[in-house]
Chains A and B, each alone.
Chain A
Amino acid sequence: MRKLTREEFLTWLAWSSSVIPAALMGFGSFRFLVPNFTFGPPTMFKIGKPEEFPQGRQIFLPESRLFIASTGAGIGAMSAACTHLGCTVARVEWGFQCPCHGSKFDSGGRVLSGPAPKPLPWFQVFQDPEGQLIVDTWRPVRRQTFYKFT
């Protein structure tokens, strides 16, 4: 094996001591910008007690952008955010329509027409010990899932 000259050794040393810290710092700087927490809006919403949702009614909650439907099968929560670009859909006679690009959904959230790629998601509803109903928008469930509460 050929011996390394002093100049070659120092050149290698200089390059590696520039490139390695630069790479580490590049990685560190990038990782620094990836947030480990966010101050985004909550993903769980307290919506009220079961008796506030009389059977046969569908109530729109504008702050959490949810439709809460109460049927004989129980209470279900469906998103009001259009799956196209996130506008809030409006209730019409035959279901829901998005004001932004005209997507149409049936009363269960299935896409009837328009650019929306996916049906409106439904979310899990559960009850806390105080009897408050909570919708968890991080837990999507099958369409037309209703929960019975007392």
Chain B
Amino acid sequence: MIDVAAVYKKVIRATVFAGELPARFYRSVFRGTYPATVRQQLGAVVNNLVLHVHPTRVYDRSIKAQTTFGLGLICFYLFIIEWITGIFLMFYYEPSTGAAYGRILDLNYTITFGRVMRNLHRWAAEAMVVGVALHMCRVFYTGAYKPPREFNWVLGVSLLVLTLALSFTGYLLPWDQLSFWAVTVGTNIVSYAPVLGPWLRFILLGGETVGSDALLRFYTLHVIAVPAVTALIVNYHIWRVIKDGGLAHPSENRGADGEPLGQPQRSDSVVTTFPRVVYLELLVFLVLMVGLPAASLLFNAPLEEEANPLTPSNPSKAPWYFLGLQELVGYSAFWGGVGVPTLLMIYLVVLPYVDRRPAGIGIWFARERVVMISVWTVILLGILVTTALGIYFRGPNWNFYWPWENWPGPH
């Protein structure tokens, strides 16, 4: 005979078990309840793999939009988006001179959402170049590179170089006229370096000209070598932020006597990282997640006809962020190709070890730093003007044209 009562009990027990399963699973991932007390909120950051790169508490001032504009965070998000969209593109791309351009056409015309995926990758990359530059300017203008953050600034400089390297190596992959001649010009700038220049170019291209080996090399650099190094340094860079005392804050400034300036202010209050900072970071992510796809639906990444080594496009322009250098190369190959970039790198790396005075830290455009700020601004303007000249004012044969002037010839 069936024991009805026992079966009934078993059914009830199984139902209760099934009902409790989701909560049980949740608690196996996140131990404890939603952190409500300050003590629990501190624990929520320390005990979480993703969150523990944050300090447990931050200055209220540090999370105001105008303090950093979230630029470092935005660059980090863009880097992640580049990884994800890049992996998707790798499912279709083939790094060979015979196939690459056709694969890009497939992405644009045949593969569902292929064009959007390519646009996302392109626009996030351009945004990353701009974002990293803006982030660097923010850190400079708020004096946030001064001791004890000198080394993190140096890491940041290396990330700027790596971002440009990522963008430049990706530039060749579509194998269209634009990419082929941009990389031909870009690698020729490299060859103006004294002694090592031509050799460096040979190593980079795997030959004397941009061909199938150059494509394979740029591909390997672009999809694994440079991203891997960049990911490591990004992690180190973010980790160093807490280790160097969190975001730069005015309370670090010292007077001529070495004493702190004035009394701690009301703005020196702190908030717990969870939940305020976490939600703010998610909000920035949300804006990117809506904005980037919208931009990618509206604007197409450029693509010209297939690369043709016999017919140079005229003008042949390097990627836009190198057009300042190309403009200088027009006057002097040595200064544009080697002198100016080397001096710029030396300036950037040495800067935090020279400008050490604890004044103007955490303050935008502090009056005490007028000399340093002027020097930086003049250099920045120089870069912007030469770059704009290269982008908008140069036509066939690198002649000067106003942006509204028509270029001669079949354009």
**Interfacial residues, chain A to chain B (CB-CB below 8 A):** 14, 17-18, 21-22, 24-25, 28-29, 31-37
Contacts and interface: CB of A to CB of B under 8 A. Distances in A.
Interface stretch (B108-116, B201-209, B235-243, B260-268): B108-116
A14 B286 contact: yes
B114 A18 contact: no
Interface of B: 88, 91, 106, 110-114, 116-117, 282-283, 286, 289-290, 293
B292 to A, nearest CB: 10
Q: Chain A: interface secondary structure?
A: helix
B106 A31 contact: no
7 contacts: A14-B283, A18-B282, A21-B289, A31-B113, A32-B112, A32-B114, A34-B112
Given A17-B290, A32-B91, 15 more contacts: A14-B286, A18-B282, A18-B289, A21-B290, A24-B293, A28-B117, A29-B88, A29-B113, A31-B113, A32-B88, A32-B112, A33-B88, A35-B111, A36-B110, A37-B110
Residue in B113, B283, B289 with the greatest tally of chain A CB atoms within 10 Å: B113
**For chain B, what secondary structure do more than half of its interface residues adopt (helix, strand, loop), or is it mixed?**
helix
B289 A32 contact: no
A111 B111 CA distance: 41
Given A29-B88, A33-B91, A37-B106, A22 B289 contact: yes
A19 to B, nearest CB: 11
Nearest to B99: A39
B297 to A, nearest CB: 11
Given A17-B286, A21-B293, A25-B293, A32 B106 contact: no
Given A18-B289, A22-B289, A32 B110 contact: no
B286 A18 contact: yes
B328 to A, nearest CB: 41
Contacts of B290: 17, 21
Contacts of A14: 283, 286
Nearest to A36: B110
